[in-house]
């Protein structure tokens, strides 16, 4: 989602195009998330700083930002790794909106990086990585969407090259990042104006049987020399978007 609004800046370093806007940045107490939050604050945004284990660092960071511009940073602590990640995501957005009465930007930065060799991977590893890296961003977007629509706001999801290139033994992490890339593409289409059939060369929606046929082919001896690639069963839509 993008407002498409333009702005002018006559003096480098003085742009405040985010003045009056509110950004929620997950995992913003440390590392990249902190840098992103600081940059947004510099451009006028009020910041909701999400943290989990790093609450002391988050509070110190918020105090630093508030010393520059009063009442411009607020900390919310939430553990996005738990089984109640959907409810936690809803609470996080609800509290973020309550602070300044609006939400203009959601930055899904929080993530965890963990080696999980196949012979050592556990259900806990899978859930831990997927909850933070994939499930939480998805349901944060779901919770934030109504508020973002009101102000023609934006969502930014962070991924990395491991979402496109495998790097054993980080298979679960790579899978989570590949999935968030697809979530980004998919929800961009869902939340933005789209005319799907008019953009499909075959001019019709696909069927479950056609997808099943592709699966049967990939599982058959006829596809014995196909690996690491896929078949795009989309009526030609991918060539026109």
Q: Find the mean pLDDT for residues 106-113.
A: 96
At 240, is the pLDDT very low, low, confident or very high (cuts 50, 70, 90)? low
Residues paired with 73 in a beta bridge: 47
Q: DSSP of 60-125, one letter per residue? A: HHHHHHHHHSTT-EEEEE--TTSTTHHHHHHHHHHHHHHHHS---EEEE---------TTT--HHH
What's the mean pLDDT in 123-140?
Answer: 98
Q: How far apart are CA 190 and CA 90, in angstroms?
A: 20
Distance CA 27, CA 135 (A): 15
- According to the model, what pLDDT value does residue 193 have? 64
For a pLDDT cut of 90, what percent of the chain falls above it?
63
Query: CB 209: neighbour CB atoms within 10 A?
Result: 7
pLDDT band for position 226 (50/70/90)?
confident
51-55, 156-160, 166-170, 200-204: range with lowest mean pLDDT: 200-204
Indicate whether 225 pLDDT > 80.
Answer: yes
Does residue 142 contact residue 184 with C-beta atoms inside 8 Å?
Answer: no
Residue bearing the bigger pLDDT, 229 or 54:
54
Q: What is the pLDDT of residue 61?
A: 98
Q: Which residues are catalytic?
A: 173
Q: Where are the domains of the chain?
A: 22-194, 197-241
| Fold of the domain built from segment(s) 22-194 | Rossmann fold (3.40.50)
The neighbouring-strand residues paired with 23 are: 47, 105
Global confidence as pTM: 0.83
């Amino acid at each position: 989602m993008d407002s498409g609004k333009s702005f002018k800046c006559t003096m480098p370093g003085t742009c405040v195009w985010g003045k009056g806007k509110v950004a929620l940045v997950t995992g913003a107490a440390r590392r990249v998330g902190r840098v992103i939050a600081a940059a947004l604050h510099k451009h006028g945004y009020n910041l909701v700083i999400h943290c989990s284990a790093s609450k002391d660092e988050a509070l110190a960071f918020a105090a630093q930002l508030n010393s520059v511009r009063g009442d411009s940073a607020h900390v919310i602590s939430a553990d996005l790794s738990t089984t109640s990640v959907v409810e936690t995501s809803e609470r996080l957005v609800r509290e973020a909106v309550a602070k300044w009465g609006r939400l203009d930007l959601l930055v899904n930065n929080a993530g965890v990086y963990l080696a999980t060799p196949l012979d050592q991977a556990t259900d806990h590893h899978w859930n831990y990585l997927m909850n933070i890296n994939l499930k939480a961003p998805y349901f944060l977007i779901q919770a934030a969407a109504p508020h973002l629509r009101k102000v023609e706001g934006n969502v930014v999801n962070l991924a990395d090259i491991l979402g496109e290139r495998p790097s054993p033994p980080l298979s679960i992490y790579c899978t989570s990042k590949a999935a968030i890339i697809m979530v980004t593409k998919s929800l961009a289409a869902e939340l933005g104006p789209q005319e799907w059939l008019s953009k499909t060369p075959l001019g019709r929606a696909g069927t479950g049987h056609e997808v099943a046929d592709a699966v049967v082919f990939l599982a058959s001896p006829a596809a014995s020399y196909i690996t690491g690639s896929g078949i795009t069963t989309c009526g030609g839509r991918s060539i026109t978007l």
